[in-house]
Amino acid sequence: MMRSMFSGVSGLRTHQTRMDVIGNNIANVNTVAFKSGRVTFQEVFSQTVKGATAPSDETGRGGQNPMQIGLGVGVGSIDTIMTGGSPQRTDNLTDVAVDGDGFFIVQGGRNDTYRFTRAGNFGLDKLGNLVTASGMNVMGWQNYKVNPDGSYEFNTEDALEPINIYTGKRMIAAKATSNAAFEGNLNVGLSALGAAAAASNVQVTVPLTVYDSLGTAHKVGIQFWKLSSVDTGSGVNTSWRWSVDTGAPSMATASGVLIFNESGRVLASSLTGTDVTFTPATSSGTTSFDVSLDFRNLTMYASDNSVQTSYVDGYTTGELVTFNVGGDGILTGVYSNGKQQPLAMLALASFSNPAGLQKVGENMFLPTTNSGDFEKAVKAGSGGTGMLNPGSLEMSNVDLSREFTEMIVTQRGFQANSRIITTSDEMLQELVNLKR
């Protein structure tokens, strides 16, 4: 009879543990990236009253199953459910959610161990460090190279370092202009001025702003005037002179001739000698710089003059205005001169068994012997990790409807086990009363 009482006690304990987990789940229903828990039960050792016997061919007697009395219930497992929570849009610059598998990597200090989290509610401290709500540094990479196509590539083989968007990045250095391209039309209907026409006969002027190596802007003009049209026997070619006007004092004296065919297109043979050297005054503090002028897209039709600048590189210095996070984890700075520059890249970690990670508070996890080791940080979208969803946060994966149902079932189980104890107690009382 005492076995039933102790079985009831084990039932009370396990259901109380289950209610503890349910209560924690409900308490964290609005915790960023919280992963809910689940309790499963298992029976404990059973007392064998009589063992099993096999059938006998000799006597014709059938077999008999074992006779066992269970000794109660125990907690089989407390699992962490690692399914992703729903993303919630926040539009906060430093909020990031992982869309798929993977964990952010954070560190409390230089000598601290790495911790891992799904909670991307990051912020900036006064030094520009990207940190968690508890002040831990978010880890990633900051060194990159520029590919020939203009894209950026971070070296993910480098050691991880705390992400900082201020140090050495508040200002973007100036870049001297090296290329300028033009497009539009030169009106063929303008009068031909002859080969002896000088710059005083300018018919079209296109404004152009170039920058020296210190970011000083120099406003110049590219001038055009029609010279003559000549029948070459194989077609009519029309020549236009171009010249660079830098004002006073002069920084450049370049000029040349463009030849258009009867289809209104520039002959490639006339596109040579279009590199211009600009020499600013010594007081500007910088040296000369070369700019290549591209006239390939000019046309000559019976239409209004419409030549304009289509592309000019080079820019003045710029201060960091804001930044954004891309789906690939790259933090890109936006500067006051309109330019953009990568600041850092977020790193992610993946584990072969995420459910084996150990919760250590503050939405953090640590690896265990069953989770798999943290071997190498990867960029978002590689190594089994998902892409990032900037301006969003992953919410708790707690399902309230399921938790409330589990709470009712757990309460009923606890109640039933308490009845076992009270009933066993009454039976013991009846046994004691037999002597009266």
Judge residue 82's burial from the number of C-beta atoms within 10 Å of its C-beta, 0-12 exposed, 13-18 middle, 19 or more buried: middle
Q: How far apart are CA 436 and CA 434, in angstroms?
A: 6
Torsion of CA 86, 92, 93, 98, to 10 degrees: -10
Residues of the chain short of pLDDT 70, as ranges, are 1, 436
Q: Helices H, strands E: what count in the chain?
A: 2, 31
Q: What is the pLDDT of residue 415?
A: 96
Q: What is the DSSP letter of 268?
A: G
Q: What is the pLDDT of residue 436?
A: 66
CATH architecture of the domain with residue range 179-312: Sandwich (2.60)
Query: Helix (H, G, I), strand (E, B), or coil: what is residue 242?
Result: strand
- Specify the domain boundaries for CATH 2.60.98.20 within the chain: 179-312
Q: What is the pTM of this model?
A: 0.81
Angle at CA 50, nearest 5°, toward 45 and 51? 80
- Each residue's pLDDT tens digit, 145-194: 988 887 889 999 999 999 999 999 999 999 999 999 999 999 999 999 98
Q: What is the pLDDT of residue 39?
A: 97
Q: What is the pLDDT of residue 200?
A: 82
**DSSP labels, 45-113:** PEEEEE--B---TTT-PPPB--EEEE--EEEEEEEE--PPPPEEE---TTBEEEESS-EEEEESSTTSP
Q: What is the pLDDT of residue 210?
A: 96
Q: What is the pLDDT of residue 229?
A: 93
Q: What is the pLDDT of residue 109?
A: 87
